[in-house]
């Protein structure tokens, strides 16, 4: 509790924002959070995230962000008096498991909403399950195409608070064009991963829109399990492009950048959401300095809400060396997802007896919610997509990020 | 324009092709080093040790943990990690392969046990190390590149090439000229006859696993160093399966074959990228594997007909 | 464990909550049975997942592009898998033991590569299968039918020929059994069943992508077969059921779930190698002859 006391002294506004869950009518702009009194009730939610498998590089931060939010809300009067019961489950980074766990949580645990899954690949298997069972879902890190809005399946119950590649990449490219005036580009992408493949298409379109040419053979595809990138880098170098874009996840972006610098490429790098974690920045180290990407979050954002979040997160999460860990986009979006659910629940007039009705009411309330979060002021667009600022960030060469510029919410 | 001509006509210099050839060779070193351990076990025990890729990964992860969490310098971490991998190989034999061997279980049982142990090792690494890709601390490990004639060559890659060749020569010498080596050859040839000649077959097999796992661990560390990539997943998928392709093409049980085929695969993969394009790349190793088995089942250096079993 | 408690006390609720899991169990059982067919004939082939991919993609593509009704698409997918099995099987089945296994692994990878390069399949991104319908009735009905059929076959002339080939291929050949032909039949039948399972599997999810057909899946099916035992039809089914549900049953131990899977596998091999459902042949049953001749890739005709 010492941390919380320190934050109270930051400022009234900060305190008000933080204590928004404490049953007060101090709403941060938007729905009247004075809603129905839910004292004594339990808000059943589930988080189905990648605790195992390759996705766990994101899943573990999501778990901490979610736990932080739940503890904060529950410790300050809950959701209009209701305590959140957050069941955190593992999707194994697998499509089948994600879908199965979604089904079990909805039918057996009778949750009223789900946060998850971690990967876009898993989402396209799991989200339809939730939609069929009419349960609202917030995707905390699904940034591929077709996740919300225009989906290949019915998705009126699906939302996401994770800035999509379709927005992040064009803004990133726009910034790069203004800064570096590239004439040509090469593109690396993993062809057996939905996120990476979607990102590649968006990059190509963004380059075209900004009059940046991609030479013949300048689009290099590889498997996400590829072990060595030497030959790809050599091929890319031979194209003599001004700027390199990398659409991939996991350890690949850093590997490509390191190899590129080794072989003598000195130009800038652009990436998608795969760039936006500290692990990637740390792995890339000095070779990744200046690598630029569009993000839904910047840790240095100077708002009381974000500062409180960062401090609380640092106190709770230590990295593998035992040092306090800063939150990144992944953690911030997971934390925010909980806050969004809580805020929407307040206005949703839940009965806690009519499960089906409550789920639909919660969905309707989500569509109208507006809440102050570490990502900034957040609401959903008519497509259930994010409506927030876009931060263009760059790796600082020391395992962190710096801010390049921002775009206001569209 | 046909794929073959396009890259040459696109104004790429001989320097480009030379750099790519070097890439193929350097990639091949890791394949070769990995495959040697793989093929050694198969040659002696007739077992496909699918835990080899897990040991490969463990070598890299252990070395990194020793450096980061215990502050060891690189060379000490390298040696200690290899020793631990060797120990893992010994335990693998003791706990799984030997009991199965003694009761006459079919070889596939050992292979499946190795799959189970691989799962355990990877799972532990995932949980204790985390799923992220990390990198050996840049200032505490060998590094740096040589630039001349438009080429860029990493010193680590040269080192790996040297190590691989040296190891192959050393291993060949050991197997041909030393007593333990002769014992290994005898057991590989015919375990029953070897036992009758007074060779302690169990000890020889244990030595083989120790050697193989040490090589696997070393390969993993060098991979992690060369590729700036250490994670619980580095042995899986591509490395593991390509290793399979390499030992088949090289001839099961042949160390020379493993090395030659390793370099060959490295070069062929790069050639496909250069002359056909990146979309054709992923299936190369397996197409080669498949064709090799169908057209030349014994592999390049496989045993000829007439050998006793 | 609440998993079992719920199964016994609230079967309807259990079904609602675990329907996808049950469907997956059924599909895995069918897939493992496809491996059973070839194992029973003495062939260690690991191509099932590759044929599964063919069956899955063909049936989905037919459904999406040609609006072929599901049962027909499923049949055509299985047929496609069987047709591919013939030119693959002819050269590959000459190989013995581990070499056959490796060649079939290679085949599986080539299938995945092909998918990644054919635009119609959606390549790496995959395809959305809007016609998905995770109903378990066709799956379990098929499972019962196939299991019954295989059980009957075991006693028939075909089954006996296979058993003879498994026990001693050379002796069987000497008795006039056309070994290559019977092997091919087993291989193709296994492929058809795997393609069928693949079609059902693809229809379970609203999505099909190559990442479903990676080597880890191959390993998984092998593990099901071995754990359950391959002496009788029941073995593979039991293996698939136990291991597919294990992650769900062990949800509380999720962090170490893979370790537990691995340890279960090791324990089965070390302490009960004939699998959960043991059977004739004692230690390892049908596997005994599979790798008998070790290093020779292609066996000689005459005995050593």
Calculate what percentage of chain C has a pLDDT beyond 90: 28
Residue A286 in contact with partner chain C when CB distance is under 8 A:
no
- State the pLDDT confidence band at C255, using cuts at 50, 70 and 90: low
Provide the pLDDT for residue A94.
86
Average pLDDT over residues B54-81: 95
Which subunits have 3 or more CB–CB pairs within 8 Å of chain C?
A: A, B
Q: Is the pLDDT of residue C293 over 90?
A: no
Cβ atoms within 10 Å, residue A262: 21
Among A246-255, A297-306, C1-10, C17-26, the least confident range: C1-10
Q: Is the pLDDT of residue B3 over 80?
A: no
Indicate the pairing of strand A137-139 with strand A113-115.
Answer: parallel
Q: Is A138 helix (H, G, I), strand (E, B) or coil?
A: strand
Provide the pLDDT for residue A153.
86
Instruction: From A282, A302, A317, select the one nearest A391 (Cα to Cα).
Output: A302
Average pLDDT, chain C: 83
**Cα gap C77→C57, rounded to integer Å:** 8
Provide the pLDDT for residue B303.
62
User: Is C258 close to B282, i.e. CB distance below 8 A?
Assistant: no
Residue A231 in contact with partner chain B when CB distance is under 8 A:
yes
Among A274-283, B104-113, C142-151, the least confident range: B104-113
Burial of B61-79, coded b for 16+ CB within 10 Å and e otherwise, reads bbbbbbbbeeebebeebbe
Provide the pLDDT for residue A3.
39
**Cα gap B259→B161, rounded to integer Å:** 11
Phi, psi of A148 (to 5 degrees): -130, 160
State the Cα torsion A296-A297-A302-A304 to the nearest 10°. Answer: 90
Provide the pLDDT for residue C4.
72
Give the minimum alpha-carbon distance from C153 to chain B in angstroms, rounded to a whole number.
26
Interface of B with C in 24-63 (CB under 8 A): 43, 46, 48
| Higher pLDDT among residues B12 and B2, named by residue | B12
Residue B279 in contact with partner chain A when CB distance is under 8 A:
yes
Bridge partners (DSSP) listed for residue A219: A187
How deeply is B83 buried, as exposed, middle or buried, from its count of CB atoms within 10 A (0-12, 13-18, 19+)?
middle
HSE-up of residue B284 (Cα within 13 Å, Cβ side): 22
Give the minimum alpha-carbon distance from B209 to chain A in angstroms, rounded to a whole number.
25
**Cα gap B247→B288, rounded to integer Å:** 12
Provide the pLDDT for residue A294.
95
Provide the pLDDT for residue C245.
82
Indicate the pairing of strand A137-139 with strand A158-160.
Answer: parallel
- Write out chain B residues lying below 8 Å of C273, CB-based: 105, 109
- State pLDDT tens for residues C129-167: 777 777 888 899 999 999 999 989 988 988 889 988 888
User: Is C21 close to A100, i.e. CB distance below 8 A?
Assistant: yes
Among A185-189, B181-185, B277-281, the least confident range: B277-281
**Cα gap A359→A82, rounded to integer Å:** 16
Bridge partners (DSSP) listed for residue A380: A386
Average pLDDT over residues A87-109: 91
| Higher pLDDT among residues A12 and A176, named by residue | A176
Instruction: From C119, A215, A162, select the one nearest A207 (Cα to Cα).
Output: A215
Indicate the pairing of strand A292-295 with strand A269-271.
Answer: parallel
How deeply is C16 buried, as exposed, middle or buried, from its count of CB atoms within 10 A (0-12, 13-18, 19+)?
middle
Residue A320 in contact with partner chain B when CB distance is under 8 A:
yes
Provide the pLDDT for residue A13.
42
Phi, psi of B3 (to 5 degrees): -55, -35
Which residue carries 């995945």 as its tokens? C112
Q: Is the pLDDT of residue A5 over 60?
A: no
Average pLDDT over residues B183-208: 91
**Cα gap A338→A342, rounded to integer Å:** 6
Give the minimum alpha-carbon distance from A155 to chain C in angstroms, rounded to a whole number.
12
Bridge partners (DSSP) listed for residue A175: none
Query: Mind spelling out the 3-state secondary structure of chain B?
Result: CCCCHHHHHCCCCHHHHHHHHHHHHHHHHHHHHHHHHHHHHHHHHCCCCCCHHHHHHHHHHHHHHHHHHHCCCHHHHHHHHHHHHHHHHHHHHHHHHHHHHHCCCCHHHHHHHHHHHHHHHHHHHHHHHCCCCECCCHHHCCCCEEEECCEEEEHHHHHHHHHHHHHHHHHHHHHHHCHHHHHHHHHHHCHHHHHHCCCCHHHHHHHHHHHHHHHHHHHHHHHHHHHCCECCCCCCCHHHHHHHHHHHHHCCCCHHHHHHHHHHHHHHHHHHHHHCCHHHHHHHHHHHHHHHHHHCCCCCCCCCCCCCC
| Higher pLDDT among residues C46 and C205, named by residue | C46
- State the pLDDT confidence band at A9, using cuts at 50, 70 and 90: very low
Q: Which of A92, A196, A197, A235 would best serve as a mutation to test chain B binding (most B beta carbons within 10 A)?
A: A235
Whole-angstrom distance between the N-terminal and C-terminal Cα of chain C?
55
Average pLDDT, chain A: 88
- Write out chain A residues lying below 8 Å of B20, CB-based: 231, 234-235
User: Is B287 close to C110, i.e. CB distance below 8 A?
Assistant: yes
Cβ atoms within 10 Å, residue B27: 26
User: Is B290 close to C103, i.e. CB distance below 8 A?
Assistant: yes
CB pairs under 8 A between A and B: 122
- Write out chain A residues lying below 8 Å of B279, CB-based: 191, 221
Which subunits have 3 or more CB–CB pairs within 8 Å of chain A?
A: B, C
Which subunits have 3 or more CB–CB pairs within 8 Å of chain B?
A: A, C
Q: Is the pLDDT of residue C48 over 80?
A: yes
Average pLDDT over residues B141-153: 88
Phi, psi of C128 (to 5 degrees): -85, 130
What residue in C sits closest to A94 (Cα-Cα)? C212
Residue C288 in contact with partner chain B when CB distance is under 8 A:
yes
**Cα gap A69→A140, rounded to integer Å:** 14
Most confident of A166-175, A315-324, B10-19, C225-234: A166-175
Eight-class DSSP state of A52 = S
Among A295-309, B120-134, C246-260, the least confident range: C246-260
Provide the pLDDT for residue C252.
66
Calculate what percentage of chain B has a pLDDT beyond 90: 56
In which element (H, E) is residue C191 found?
helix C179-204
Instruction: From C222, C244, C300, select the one nearest C43 (Cα to Cα).
Output: C222
Residue C3 tokens read as 């998993």
Phi, psi of C168 (to 5 degrees): -160, 100
What residue in C sits closest to A152 (Cα-Cα)? C128
Q: Is the pLDDT of residue A8 over 50?
A: no
User: Is A234 close to B23, i.e. CB distance below 8 A?
Assistant: yes
Rounded alpha-carbon distances, angstroms, from residue A134 to A112, A129, A142, A157, A361: 10, 9, 19, 6, 11
pTM over 0.95: no
- Write out chain C residues lying below 8 Å of A92, CB-based: 247, 257
Name the residue facing C255 among A51, A95, A223 (closest C-beta).
Answer: A51
- State pLDDT tens for residues A337-379: 999 999 999 999 999 999 999 999 999 999 999 999 999 999 9
Biggest distance spanned by C-alpha atoms of chain A: 67
Burial of B217-244, coded b for 16+ CB within 10 Å and e otherwise, reads bbbbbbbbbbbbbbbbbbbbbbbbbbbb
- State the pLDDT confidence band at A11, using cuts at 50, 70 and 90: very low
Average pLDDT over residues A254-270: 95
């Amino acid at each position: 509790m010492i941390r919380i006391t320190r934050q109270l002294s930051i400022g009234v506004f900060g305190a008000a924002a933080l204590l928004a869950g404490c049953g007060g009518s101090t709403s941060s702009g938007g729905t009247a959070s004075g809603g129905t009194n839910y004292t004594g009730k339990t808000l059943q939610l589930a988080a189905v995230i990648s605790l195992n498998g390759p996705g766990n590089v994101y899943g573990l931060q999501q778990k901490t962000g979610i736990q932080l939010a739940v503890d904060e809300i529950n410790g300050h009067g809950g959701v209009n008096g209701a305590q959140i019961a957050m069941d955190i489950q593992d999707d194994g980074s697998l499509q089948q498991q994600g879908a199965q766990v979604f089904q079990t949580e909805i039918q057996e645990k009778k949750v009223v909403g789900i946060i998850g899954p971690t990967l876009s690949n898993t989402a396209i298997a799991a989200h339809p399950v939730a939609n069929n069972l009419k349960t609202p879902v917030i995707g905390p890190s699904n940034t591929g195409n077709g996740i919300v809005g225009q989906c290949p399946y019915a998705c009126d119950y699906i939302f996401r608070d994770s800035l999509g590649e379709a927005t992040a990449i064009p803004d990133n490219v726009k910034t790069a064009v203004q800064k570096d005036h590239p004439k040509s580009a090469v593109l690396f992408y993993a062809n057996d991963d939905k996120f990476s493949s979607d990102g590649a298409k968006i990059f190509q379109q963004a380059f075209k829109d900004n009059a940046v040419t991609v030479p013949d053979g300048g689009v290099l595809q590889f498997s996400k399990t590829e072990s060595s990138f030497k030959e790809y880098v050599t091929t890319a170098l031979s194209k003599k492009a001004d700027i390199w874009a990398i659409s991939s996840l996991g350890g690949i972006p850093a590997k490509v950048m390191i190899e590129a610098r080794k072989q003598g490429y000195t130009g800038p790098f652009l990436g998608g959401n795969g760039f936006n974690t500290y692990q990637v920045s740390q792995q890339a180290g000095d070779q990744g300095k200046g690598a630029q990407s569009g993000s839904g979050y910047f840790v240095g954002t100077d708002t009381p809400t974000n500062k409180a979040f960062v401090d609380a997160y640092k106190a709770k999460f230590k990295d593998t060396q035992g040092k306090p860990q800063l939150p990144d986009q992944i953690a911030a979006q997971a934390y925010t997802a909980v806050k969004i659910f809580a805020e929407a629940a307040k206005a949703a007039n839940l009965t806690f007896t009519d499960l089906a009705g409550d789920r639909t009411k919660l969905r309707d309330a989500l569509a109208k919610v507006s809440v102050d979060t570490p990502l900034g002021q957040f609401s959903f667009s008519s497509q259930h997509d994010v409506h927030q600022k876009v931060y263009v960030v760059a790796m600082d060469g020391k395992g962190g990020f710096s801010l390049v510029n921002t775009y206001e919410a569209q | 324009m046909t794929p073959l001509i396009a890259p040459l006509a696109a104004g790429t210099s001989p320097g480009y092709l030379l750099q790519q050839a070097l890439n193929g060779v350097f990639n091949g070193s890791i394949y070769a080093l990995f495959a040697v351990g793989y093929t050694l076990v198969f040659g002696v025990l007739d077992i496909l040790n699918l835990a080899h890729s897990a040991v490969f990964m463990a070598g890299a992860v252990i070395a990194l943990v020793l450096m980061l969490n215990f502050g060891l310098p690189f060379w000490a971490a390298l040696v200690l990690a290899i020793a631990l991998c060797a120990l893992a190989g010994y335990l693998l034999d003791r706990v799984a392969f030997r009991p199965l061997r003694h009761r006459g279980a079919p070889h596939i049982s050992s292979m499946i046990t190795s799959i189970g142990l691989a799962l355990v090792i990877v799972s532990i690494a995932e949980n204790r190390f985390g799923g992220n890709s990390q990198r050996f601390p840049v200032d505490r490990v060998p590094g740096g590149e040589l630039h001349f004639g438009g080429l860029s060559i990493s010193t680590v890659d040269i080192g790996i090439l040297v190590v691989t060749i040296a190891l192959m020569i050393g291993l060949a010498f050991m197997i041909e000229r030393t007593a333990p080596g002769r014992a290994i050859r005898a057991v590989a040839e015919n375990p029953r006859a070897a036992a009758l000649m007074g060779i302690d077959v169990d000890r020889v097999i244990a030595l083989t696993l120790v050697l193989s796992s040490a090589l696997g661990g070393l390969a993993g560390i060098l991979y992690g160093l060369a590729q700036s990539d250490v994670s619980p997943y580095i042995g899986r998928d591509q490395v593991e399966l390509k290793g399979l392709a390499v030992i088949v093409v090289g001839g099961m049980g042949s160390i020379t074959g493993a090395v030659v085929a390793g370099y060959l695969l490295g070069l062929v993969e790069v050639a496909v990228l250069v002359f056909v394009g990146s979309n054709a790349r992923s299936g190369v190793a397996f197409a080669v594997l498949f064709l090799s088995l169908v057209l030349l089942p014994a592999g390049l250096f496989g045993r000829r007909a007439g050998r006793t079993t | 464990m609440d998993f079992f408690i719920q199964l016994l006390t609230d079967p309807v609720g259990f079904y609602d909550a675990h329907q996808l899991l049950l469907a997956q169990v059924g599909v895995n059982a069918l897939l493992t049975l496809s491996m059973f067919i070839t194992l029973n004939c003495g062939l260690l082939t690991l191509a099932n997942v590759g044929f599964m991919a063919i069956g899955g993609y063909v049936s989905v593509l037919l459904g999406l592009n040609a609006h072929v009704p599901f049962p027909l698409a499923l049949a055509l997918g299985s047929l496609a898998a069987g047709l591919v099995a013939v030119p693959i099987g002819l050269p590959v089945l000459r190989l013995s033991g581990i070499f056959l296994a490796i060649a079939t692994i290679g085949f599986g990878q080539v299938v995945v590569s092909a998918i990644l390069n054919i635009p119609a399949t959606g390549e790496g991104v995959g395809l959305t299968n809007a016609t998905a319908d995770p109903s378990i009735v066709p799956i379990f009905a098929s499972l019962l039918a196939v299991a019954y059929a295989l059980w009957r076959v075991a006693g028939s002339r075909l089954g006996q020929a296979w058993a003879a080939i498994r026990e001693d291929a050379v002796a069987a050949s000497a008795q006039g059994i056309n070994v290559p032909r019977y092997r091919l039949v087993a291989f193709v039948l296994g492929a058809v069943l795997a393609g069928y399972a693949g079609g059902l599997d693809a229809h379970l999810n609203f999505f099909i992508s190559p990442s479903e057909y990676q080597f880890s899946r191959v390993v998984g099916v092998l593990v099901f077969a071995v754990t359950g035992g391959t002496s009788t039809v029941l073995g593979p089914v039991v293996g698939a059921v136990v291991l597919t549900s294990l992650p769900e049953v062990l949800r509380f131990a999720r962090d170490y779930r893979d370790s537990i899977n691995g340890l279960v596998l090791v324990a089965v091999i070390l302490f009960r190698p004939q699998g959960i459902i043991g059977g004739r042949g004692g230690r390892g049953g049908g596997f005994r002859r599979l790798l008998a001749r070790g290093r020779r890739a292609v066996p000689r005709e005459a005995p050593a």
